[in-house]
Structure 1
Amino acid sequence: MRFLLLIVVSLVFLEFTSSRLLGDDVGKWDRWEHSFTASDKTPESADVSVTLTSPSGKIFQRRTFWDGGRTWKVRFKPDEIGIWKFSTSSDAYYSGLSNQSGNFRCVQNTGQTIFQQHGPIEVSTNGRYLQHADGTPFFWLADTAWNGALLSDEKDWDSYLSDRQAKHFTAIQLVTTQWRTAYKNQEGQVAYEGREAIQIHPEFFKRLDARIDAVNQHNLLAAPVMLWALGDESYTPGKLPTDQAIKLAKYIEARYGGNDVLWFLGGDENYSGQRAEHWKAIGKAVFANRHHAPVTLHPQGMQWHFDSFTNEKWLDVLIYQSGHGDSDAALSWIHSGPPSKLWQNDPPRPIINSEPPYEGHIAYNSKKPHPAYNVRRAAYWSLLNAPTAGVSYGAHGVWSWETKPNTPQNHGGSGIANPWNEAINLPGSTDMGYLARLFTSLDWWKLRPANDVVKSPNGKQRPAEHISAARSDNGNLFVAYLPVGGEVVLDTSKIARVKNFFWFDPRTGKRNAADAKRPGQFQAPDQQDWVLVGEAN
């Protein structure tokens, strides 16, 4: 009896010891976090890396980040079930940080978010769109809340995210430091101080942790801008000296690399000349030769400076900003500009308009607020001018997180914005939900520009009346956007497998059968904007 009791006690002790050595279990694709305690004399700039080895022997490198006091942390998202090993290394010896090692166990994930079920976001194997780690296509429909994570409280942030989740948005664009429209966060904190030798403030980022975690918990991808570039150098991280910009970007990547993110390395920048070299150096230092979430650059309006970045392997996605104009030139740039002409260049990358006109924002040319129609028109054109990957939306008052009617800071020409909790109800946001429901009901990732299918109108119409069209390579799916209704005549020989057509109302989300007057000839229900969809069955 004593012998049996000894065996039981030994097994319990071994199980307890094993669990202590392994630490808490972490679900596949969940965030693993480990803390290290340094000696009192460790500088906050201590450069400590963690090497992680998967059960199958794959090697991953992660950086630690200083979390204040004597605490350093590492965050990582494991992608294999089994026992993982980790060990630390550093450029100099730091007691409590250097030469540390351990294990943890990755188990089956039982979480309910799309990221827990399908994995983090990556670029598809053909380079044309985003997908989850398990291969499930990810349709990018981002809302713009540049100031949201900085100026909101937790309750308001949750209310906002719940609204966007209900309207079928899939991502949130946000800024992670002080910038031209928010010199400080709601509590008066800044992400860093200084210029030639910056001091990073962990307390600022501890507050941001909860906001970015909440984004993911609402089934939304976080799209953080690491280094906004437009504005006075006193509050613009993108204008820090290159070495200090690298330091700040490394910190942000280390802190949020365990979340579900797509990185905007730079924001509102002209990526040409010497500025291009500045950003290449940052991108390589932060992302080259290591596993990371997809990375992009957010440029200034109606600019395309990506030719000099063609061979930058760390740059995964091409983001552009069509901007807030409404002139003929601005409209033509969206449907017939560089994205429509250069998408075939190698290597293939997803192409996304991350800043079409914001709803309610004063248009540059007419000086009138952009209505929902302008927003819809830009969104559908943007989805069809290159291989479909997604599009972003912005509401004036939400992007700058106004709490009362106000003109956003340093944006005098944009007009008075409504408070964010009113601006979330602008009709264009609901229209974006209809857009998402339409495209996610189709094999949208197979669409390629196909304006040659449209025989009439013949391309001589005004820029505002341009019909954009796309089809799948095998010809069994067709989508066309008619901004002013009317008649369209199609070359059905180029979509021979398409047999059934319907009209989609982008204002209500309703579908109606589309009957051809003659083969390939369709008349929209009225002179408003409509989407014509053709399928094989």
Structure 2
Amino acid sequence: MSFTRRAAFTLPVGLYATAAFAAPKKTTTPAAPALERWGLYEISLKGPDTGNPFLDVDLSADFTDGAEVVRVPGFYDGDGDYRIRFSPPKTGTWRWVTKSNVTALDGQTGQAEASAPSNTNHGPVKVTLDGYHFAYADGTPFRQIGTTCYAWAQQSDERCAQTIKTLTGSPYNKLRMCVFPNVAAEPIHPFVQTGTGDRDWDGTRFNPAYFRRFESRVKSLLDIGVEADIIIFHPYDEKRGFSDQNRVHDERYLRYLIARLSAFRNVWWSAANEYDDIKTKSMADWDHILELLQSEDPHHRLRSIHNIKVLYDNNKPWITHASVQNGTAVLDDRTAETYRSVWKKPVIFDEVCYEGDIALRWGNLSGQEMVMRFWHGHIAGTYVGHSETYTPDKSGADGSWLGKGGTMLGTATPRLAFLKKVMEDGPAPGIDPIDKWWERHVGGKEGRYYLRYFGDQAPAEWAVDLPRNGLKGGEQFRVDVLDTWNMTVTPVEGVFTMAKKDNYNFHDPARPTIKLSGNKWMAVRITRV
């Protein structure tokens, strides 16, 4: 098939393979070009372009490797083009057959050969077996350092390229992004317009060009190793009302997104940003939306929902991890940890206020305050999200990273890169709170690794008292002093040999304390030799 009209979406051989058919001839095709495990395989078919194909045509394909069958939905891409996208979860031969209520699309067959993934392809991100952290499908830990850039995908190609350039080499490995823009964007819309009114949209007819453009942005994130946390609904488009359609239209929209996007291995689903501020949807509606995502996504991508004030019940089975907005939960590690204990799932505080200089209270954190929230979240065994709301000129033009992407102006990002390196050097898949009901403020792995963060305190020394669990005496540790703002690691000379101090602590009687600088933003790392 030709990719001329969407060259920005071309994927490299090995990550993407296609099989093309012309209607009405029905044939069994030769084996398609090999693709990688967890890559994207596309079947392209020609079919009817009259009537309303979005409503009139049902299309899917059953993929099987002989051990399991995966039913994958298809979608209409305009101009008589129909597509089915599949990401093979295992290597080997995957044979497929299409199913449709249209003769020309029904009963087509073929196969895809899934080869071993390349070194940069670790598969989709999953929740780890311990239930609190993330890892790629091949077991590589995923240390979440996320950022939010709501409407970057709907900006000009030039600005989007600038956003990708900014992300490249940054610590951010997950980006929250809206399907429907929440700020000014390019004049292209997700549905066909039926009149001149602001809400004159035909919810039964998608604009394929809009979604081709959007998926090209998802693909550009995949190319640089960034997860696309896709926000499906939000409350900030009252003028056009895309988030206010009825359940039937919502279901059709969800299924279209699943068919188009779920085969991209970097996709996560966020049912909504600030779901509780969308007044046209009930809690039952949100449950239905998330349950549909769970039941109909053949690739089982991660699922969450983001709040403004009312926390969603993240214990529900269709939630894979919690996405939380709370400006105070990560002002210390104890509060952050409570969310984790209640839900027993990974917790990402995706919105904790933003670094910036605007008057609104949610957008004027200093760089130090932003970084401090990440460190408290890390000690708690949770994760945190970033964004920026700086305005670069006096005219009030929206230059903020949060809304449109582009470039970053803040001071937090390099310090978050330092934190990410600390995370990567720590135990896999992540650290957990230690002796969490007491004033320890220590995260790590009992008997192996400890991390103590002091935040805006400025102690001149610290007693190296380790909680007793996991220790018997005689264990040896090395200690590093970390300046999290100046991004330095200073080893403390020698080793510390643990002995029982009291009923709750072990220490080295010969070296009970270490000297600190008396500055803010310090941490201590204790690693078993």
Q: Give the structure-2-normalised TM-score.
A: 0.80
Cα distance in 2, alignment partners of residues 162 and 417 from structure 1 = 16
Gap regions ≥5 residues in structure 1: 1-17, 324-329, 459-466
| Cα deviation 1:12-64 (Å, max 9, x = unaligned) | xxxxxx99522332222211111121123352224534343332421112211
Q: Which residue of 2 aligns with 1:52?
A: 62
* Rounded Cα–Cα distance in structure 2 between residues aligned with 1:57 and 1:479: 45
1:533 alignment partner, SS class: strand
Please tell me whether the aligned partners of residues 204 and 249 of structure 2 are also in contact (alpha carbons under 8 angstroms): yes
Q: How far does residue 354 in structure 1 lie from its aligned partner after superposition?
A: 0.9
Q: How does 1:476-515 map to 2 (within 5 A)?
A: 476-484=448-456, 485-486=458-459, 487-489=461-463, 491-494=465-468, 496=471, 497=475, 499-514=477-492
Cα separation, partners in 2 of 1:526 and 1:96, compared to 1, 3 Å: farther
Give the AA of the match of 1:437: K
**Matching residue within 32, 39, 64 for 2:41:** 32
Equivalent of residue 288 in structure 1, options 295, 302, 307? 295
Instruction: Give the alignment of 1:294-305 within 5 angstroms.
Output: 294-300=302-308, 303-305=310-312
Q: 2:267 aligns with which of 261, 271, 284?
A: 261
SS at match of 1:22: coil
Q: Report the Cα offset of residue 405 of structure 1.
A: 5.8
Instruction: Give the share of equivalent positions with the same residue, in percent.
Output: 15
Q: Aligned in 2, Cα 1:223/1:426: closer, same or farther, shift over 3 Å?
A: same
**Cα distance, 1:190–1:520 mapped onto 2, change above 3 Å:** farther
Counterpart residue number, 1:80: 90
Aligned partner (choices 303, 317, 320) of residue 316 of structure 1: 320
Query: In the aligned structure 2, how far is the partner of 1:498 from the partner of 1:125?
Result: 29
**Deviation of the 1:498 alpha carbon:** 6.2
Partner Cα distance (2:75, 2:44) in 1 = 10
Aligned to 1:122: 126
Contact 1:87 1:101 (8 Å CA) reproduced = yes
Structure 1 segments, 4+ long, off by >4 Å, are: 193-196, 271-274, 331-334, 402-409, 414-421, 451-454, 514-520
Do residues 341 (structure 1) and 351 (structure 2) align? no
Give per-residue Cα distances to partners, 1:270-302, cap 9 Å, x unaligned: 29997321111111223226442111112115x
Aligned to 2:13: none
The one-character-per-residue Cα deviations of 1:322-371 (angstroms, maximum 9, x if unpaired) are 24xxxxxx36776444x42242346x321111112211154755x98311
Q: How many residues align?
A: 472
Paired residue type of 2:454:
L
In structure 2, the CA distance between the partners of 1:332 and 1:222, relative to structure 1 (3 Å rule), is closer
Q: 1:417 to 1:60 in 2, by over 3 A?
A: closer
Going from structure 1 to structure 2, the CA distance change for 1:225 and 1:272 (only over 3 Å counts) comes to closer
CA displacement 1:115-149 (0-9 Å, x = unmatched): x2x21211112221111111111111112211211
- Structure 1 479/152 Cα, relative in aligned 2: closer, same or farther at 3 Å? farther
Letter in 2 for 1:59: V
- Counterpart of 1:432? 416
RMSD: 3.3
Contact kept in structure 2, 1:196 and 1:244, CA below 8 Å: no
Q: Tell me which protein shows more strand as a share of its residues.
A: 2
Q: 1:500 to 1:424 in 2, by over 3 A?
A: same
CA contact (8 A) 1:492 1:520 kept: no
TM-score, normalisation: structure 1: 0.79
Q: Does residue 146 of structure 1 match 2:150?
A: yes
What is the one-letter code of the residue matched to 1:268? E
Contact kept? 1:54, 1:80, Cα under 8 Å? no
Partners in 1 of 2:258 and 2:341 — Cα distance? 31
1:441 and 2:425 correspond: yes
Which sits farther off after the overlay, 505-514 or 231-240?
A: 231-240
Structure 2 alignment gaps of length 5 or more? 1-26, 193-199, 497-507
What's the offset of the Cα at 1:151? 1.0
* Structure-2 change in CA distance of 1:152 and 1:440 (3 Å): farther
- Helix, strand or coil at the partner of 2:351: coil
Out of 57, 62, 69, which is 2:72 matched to?
Answer: 62
Structure 1 counterpart of 2:96, one-letter code: F
What is the CA deviation profile of residues 298-320 of structure 1, one whole-angstrom value per residue up to 9, with x for unaligned ones?
2115x4332xx423x32111111
Letter in 1 for 2:190: A
Residue 471 in structure 1 maps to residue 444 in structure 2: yes
